[in-house]
Amino acid sequence: MDKPIRRVAIFGMLLFFGLMVQVNYVQGSQAEKLRTDSANTRQYLNVFNNPRGQITASGEVLASSYPTGKDNPKYGRKYVDGMVFSPVTGYFNGGASKVELAYNALLSGTDKRITHQRWFDMFIGKKPEGANVELSIDPAAQRLAYRLLKNNTSRRAGAAVIDVKTGAVKVLSSSSSYDPNDVAPQTGEQGAKKLQQLDGMRGVIQPLIDNGMSQTFPPGSSFKTVVAAMAMDDLGMSSSTPVNTGPLILPESGKSLPNSHDSGSCGGTAPMLGAFAESCNTAFGRIALDAGIQKLHDESSKFGFNRKWNIEPMLKPAESDVPISFVGADGNKVDTGKDGTARSGIGQENVRATPLQMAMVAAAVANKGKIMQPYLVQKVTTKDQSTVYQADPKLFSQAMKSGTADQLEDMMRAVVNEGTAKNLIGQGIAGKTGTAEQGAGIPNARWFVGFSPMNNPRYAFAVVTEGTGDGASGAGPLAAQILAQVRK
């Protein structure tokens, strides 16, 4: 080969090599950046062209894709028992919610943890394959919880159960729900209109806002668990400290803060354990007044109140709150006064909480004061079974001292054995009742918050239902049945 031809050949090889390097760089390293660039309209055109991964729980497929036989959409989305699981799975229709949103890139196969491993497949034009998402949810317990909540009230009800050692959410249920099949890609314009209709609902029942972690309620006397923890951790009290359970006249209005009864432990004085077991409002109103609203706010923050946090990426529970001030009817800022502080001490006034938040309170009691970070997704695997994500239990907070938690365990057992929830004796659960007034003409928020089993607890829970009556009868029996299923 003469010299000029050799030079041309070498130059051509260098050009070819450079082209290969550039293509590999673009297809591999830059694929995710280019895909998500706001100027790239193909990301919106292709959203229904490839199958999404499955969402599963304990081996059950809860959400999956299937070919429609059409050009648009090429793939539909099918949900099993959508009304039951939508508070966790959410929906997908191009837009998404809940886990479908939080793990969208992995489910669609466009996450860099997948594309970086499969750059050659992309180079040869092979379609992305979505990863499968496995939930921490217990399907049987979730189904039971939905049925019990739905049948218990015509208004709102919610439940949450978490593993106190890991933070894994086993139940996150809501009586207010919707079927994501009704808004899935294959429903087209009809589904889009349905979603718009659901999103526009402004009554008491709002199906897109689940009652497990996205809706708050006044926690009532179940909040006395937080107040008791504050009293023992910071005010030098213990479960045996005598407390005044006699009549309490509120300092600003001169009105009384009543007990549900004025006998037994609520008849004048009692150890804190007795006042807790019989839910004496006056004792915990006084503790709140002694501490002040700022202290109550700060101590509740250790449990997760007054904080915004993610349970999964882009998925935040509604903020539970113990407000120092609030916006009044005239639109001006109003400080929580002394009367409001006393009422806050019994979970009324402007105190609000989700069932998930109150389950976290119970988890602190059952786990030596520690709350583990709650999570919904256990792991994510690719089609070849490679694990690209695995839940790693992490500490959310040390909400109280270990010794305080031990005393509160005994106090929650006393609620069932000798206090306001004796109807639950023998059911394998301990906890705190709550019956919160919600205003004239609005039914009570009925709570039972606690742990199971009664000894060596593994699960923490909270159940709330709206209706007449109290937490012991309106929420307690439901909690017992749900936890019996979780423990199986």
User: 81: which residues sit within 8 A by CB, 6+ positions away?
Assistant: 62, 143
For residue 327, the cross-strand partners are: 333
How many angstroms separate the CA atoms of 149 and 157, rounded? 6
Catalytic residue among 65, 136, 221, 265: 221
Pairing of strands 256-257, 248-249: antiparallel
Alpha-carbon distance of 64 to 58, in angstroms, equals 15
User: Annotated catalytic, 173?
Assistant: no
Measure the CA–CA gap between 239 and 167, rounded to whole angstroms: 27
What is the number of other CB atoms lying within 10 angstroms of the CB of residue 470? 22
Distance (Å, whole) CA 47 – CA 69: 16
Contact by Cβ (8 Å): 486, 428? no
- 459 with 409: CB under 8 angstroms? no
Contact 124, 77 (CB under 8 A): no
The 8 Å CB, 24+ separation contacts for 292-295 are 292/341, 293/322, 293/324, 293/336, 293/340, 293/341, 293/344, 294/324, 295/230, 295/234
Q: Are strands 75-79 and 169-174 parallel, antiparallel or unpaired?
A: unpaired
* End-to-end CA gap in the chain: 80
Which ranges of 374-467 would DSSP assign to H, the alpha helix? 402-418
* Cross-strand partners of 433: 448
- For 139, the 3-state DSSP assignment is helix
Residues 6+ apart with CB under 8 A from 95: 101
Distance of CA 461 to the CA centre of its chain: 11
CA pair distance 53, 65, nearest whole angstrom:
7
Is the Cβ–Cβ distance between 309 and 287 less than 8 Å? no
Q: List the catalytic residues.
A: 221
